[in-house]
Amino acid sequence: YNMLHGQFGESISDPSVTISSLIRDRLPASARLGIQQMLFGIPLGLLLGILAAVYKNTWLDRTVTIVALFLMSIPSLVLGLLLQSYFGGKLGWFPIIGWPSGDQTWWGGWIYTILPTIAGGVTYIAIYARLLKNSMVDVASSEYVMTARAKGLSESQIVLHHIVRNASIPIITSLPVTLAFGITGSIFIESIFVIPGVGQYFVTALNNRDVPIIMGETVLLAILYIVTMFITDMLYTLADPRIKLYDRA
């Protein structure tokens, strides 16, 4: 009953603080970080994926593939430490740790957010570039694409209206997981950049064996995942009119 009303009890390590208040205070930092990472990584990944598919088997395709594999092979923890060491420590361009607070929680203090955003966003670049490229290559060999070419449509019309639209189904499928995990926080990124978010406190709860906090954040992730999956079902109907949410019959 209490869980249904958003009450998860008190923290074992600090009984004076409720878990609901902890999540409420720390969720904005995690949400902003996750949203910035997605806005940085996903559009770039989709653009690279389209270019790699359009110019298949060229130097551009091979370059995008190599870069995507390289970015996927680098853990965000390692990349974050490298960015801290070079751009924060050696060059001194950005602060190594910290996060905007107060009136700047949602908007402002951008210099603190650049390195964490890049460290977590490059993974999205690699994932979505490969995902869209492979999907577009499969769709490009479909009969309706060949029919569109036979009708004399321009290559740009074929790519935008036929290939990209039908190849977007796998992208829509992966977005809920990306959004849910992005909003609830990147554990490693928040830990090394000392960001007061949900992910960092989840690590603290694990070290302290604070079960109520672990349960509360797990329930939060599950709720976000369910909501985003519902939104995904709605987006399916926009990408492919043949998909219906329900049978009118």
Note the pLDDT of residue 12: 72
Note the pLDDT of residue 3: 60
Token code pair at residue 83:
């960015």
Distance CA 235, CA 173 (A): 9
pTM above 0.85, yes or no: no
Contact 79, 119 (CB under 8 A): yes
Distance CA 171, CA 161 (A): 16
Note the pLDDT of residue 59: 87
For residues 115-138, give the mean pLDDT.
Answer: 85
The size of the chain, in residues, is: 249
b/e map of 49-86 (b: 16 or more CB within 10 Å)?
Answer: bbbbbbeeeeeebeebeebbeebeeeebeebbbebbee
Distance CA 78, CA 83 (A): 9
Distance CA 45, CA 170 (A): 14
Higher pLDDT, 72 or 45: 45
For residues 110-128, give the mean pLDDT.
Answer: 85
**Residue pLDDT, tens place only, 147-172:** 777 777 777 777 777 777 777 777 87
Residues 6+ apart with CB under 8 A from 164: 50, 136
pLDDT at 191 over 70: yes
**Which domains are delineated in the chain?**
18-239 (1.10.3720.10)
pLDDT at 5 over 70: no
